[in-house]
């Protein structure tokens, strides 16, 4: 009678070792796939967020409009203040960089010039804008701003080009000058043809490697 032969202890241990190695290799491959998927999703989400923020940035600049006694566009090195038109009135918007984040604050649209002046004064108070600021983009290490005048880019903090006010233009048309003893009206700043913003990002996973430059022509929105 033939006796059935089973597995020896050594053979079972070898088989278990092979299964353990195969399981480890399989898990490593699955883990790599999951990590790659998470990184790709993070990059997609960040790219989508950046696209949305840049779209808002462009819309704000394209709708910039001058108002009497209120700067349409002003950059103080930390904040960019702009006055833009809305279907229901005028709105003050502030962009700035704080604690590695690009932030945006926007007022409610107002229809009266006096209200717009009040809102513009509020926009320059850090406590007011900080309480209602929206975090537009994270991981931003720094930014630079430039205006396009004539045929060259200039520092946004420079005085820029100047133009005569209406009162001054009327006086000059009548041949009145400062030498005649008349008071010549103040000059107003001319809006640049375009604005350029350059963002620098902090190194790290999920962040963009190099700087981002965005140029927007003013007055291009209907």
> 181-184: long-range contacts (C-beta < 8 A, 24 or more apart)?
none
- pLDDT at residue number 165: 42
Listed residue (60, 57, 132, 143) closest to 100, CA to CA: 143
Predicted confidence (pLDDT) per residue in 102-139, tens digit: 999 999 999 999 999 999 999 999 888 888 899 999 88
Percent of the chain scoring above 90 in pLDDT: 41
More confident residue, 4 or 101: 101
Predicted confidence (pLDDT) per residue in 3-40, tens digit: 656 668 777 788 888 888 887 777 777 777 777 766 66
- pLDDT at residue number 66: 85
Question: Is pLDDT of 70 > 70?
Answer: yes
DSSP assignment, residue 100?
A: T
The arithmetic mean of pLDDT across residues 55-66, rounded, is 92
Tokens, residue 52: 């949305």
Predicted confidence (pLDDT) per residue in 77-92, tens digit: 899 999 999 999 999 9
End-to-end Cα separation, the chain, in angstroms? 99
What's the mean pLDDT when you consider all of the chain? Answer: 80
- pLDDT at residue number 68: 83
- pLDDT at residue number 4: 57
* DSSP assignments along 154-202, one per residue: EETTS---EEE-HHHHHHHHTT--GGGT--PPPEEEPPPSEEEEEEEE-
Burial of 34 (0-12, 13-18, 19+ CB in 10 A): exposed
Residue with tokens 């353990």: 20
Percent of the chain scoring above 70 in pLDDT: 75
- pLDDT at residue number 172: 46
The arithmetic mean of pLDDT across residues 202-217, rounded, is 79
**Alpha carbon distance 149, 169 (integer Å):** 21
| CB contact at 8 A, 202 and 212 | no
Residue with tokens 């509020």: 122
């Amino acid at each position: 009678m033939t006796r059935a032969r089973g597995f020896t202890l050594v053979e079972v241990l070898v088989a278990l070792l092979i299964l353990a190695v195969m399981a480890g290799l399989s898990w490593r491959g699955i883990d790599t796939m999951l990590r790659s998927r998470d990184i790709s999703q993070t990059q997609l989400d960040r790219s989508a967020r950046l696209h949305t923020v840049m779209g808002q940035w462009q819309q704000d600049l394209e709708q910039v409009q001058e108002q009497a006694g209120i700067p349409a566009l002003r950059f103080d090195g930390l904040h960019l203040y702009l006055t833009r038109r809305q279907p229901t009135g005028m709105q003050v918007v502030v962009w700035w960089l704080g604690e590695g984040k690009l932030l945006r604050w926007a007022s409610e649209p107002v229809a009266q010039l006096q209200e717009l002046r009040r809102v513009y004064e509020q926009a320059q108070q850090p406590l007011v804008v900080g309480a209602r600021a929206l975090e537009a983009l994270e991981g931003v290490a720094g930014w630079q701003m430039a205006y396009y005048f004539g045929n060259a880019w200039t520092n946004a903090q420079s005085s820029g080009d100047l133009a005569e006010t209406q009162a001054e233009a009327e006086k000059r048309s009548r041949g009145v000058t400062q030498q005649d003893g008349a008071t010549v009206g103040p000059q107003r700043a001319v809006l640049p043809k375009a604005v350029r913003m350059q963002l620098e990002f902090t190194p790290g996973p999920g962040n963009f490697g190099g700087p981002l430059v965005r140029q927007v022509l003013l007055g291009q929105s209907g």
